[in-house]
Amino acid sequence: MKVAKNSTATSGMPRQSSMKAIALMRSGTEPGQFVRIIAALDRLEPLYFAVCFLSALAVLVRALAEVRSITARRQLRWIAWGTALGATPFAVGYQLPSALGVEPSLPMELSVIPLSLIPLAYAPRE
């Protein structure tokens, strides 16, 4: 079975072009309304991304509080700290201001660097 490029098979949610097409259909014939809807979607996308990061962190912290095994607790602690140290600066320093309409500056764009801690936190340790 072939999967189209703009399908939801890889990510589980509609791609941005699909969301824009839905906005176009709902906007009627007025082009100004379509432009406003697209601008609103573009502003909300970074906020949604930040909320997903912070929600994942909340789930990890909850799991850390409930786990009983010492080994599992240590592993989850690494994962939770790596996710927190990687996602929080990006969510707070780039995604949230971007969603509020702030033009990305160099320090905001550099907040993407800590995201590299997330895969390192999931790496196996011995």
In a domain, 19, yes or no: no
pLDDT: is 61 or 25 the higher one?
A: 61
Cβ-contact 15, 6 below 8 angstroms: yes
In a domain, 110, yes or no: yes
Q: Could you tell me the pLDDT band of residue 2, with boundaries at 50, 70 and 90? A: very low
Cα–Cα distance measured from residue 58 to residue 56, given in angstroms and rounded to the nearest whole number = 5
In a domain, 31, yes or no: no
Domain count, the chain: 1
In a domain, 4, yes or no: no
Cα–Cα distance measured from residue 97 to residue 103, given in angstroms and rounded to the nearest whole number = 8
In a domain, 18, yes or no: no
For the stretch 42-67, pLDDT in tens is 878 878 888 888 898 899 989 999 99
Dihedral sign, CA of 51, 53, 57, 63? positive
Say if residue 78's pLDDT is above 50.
yes
Query: What residues have CB less than 8 Å from 91, skipping those under 6 apart?
Result: 49, 50, 53, 54
Domain that holds residue 105: 46-122
Say if residue 3's pLDDT is above 50.
no
In a domain, 65, yes or no: yes
Cβ-contact 117, 86 below 8 angstroms: yes
In a domain, 1, yes or no: no
pTM for this structure?
0.62
In a domain, 25, yes or no: no
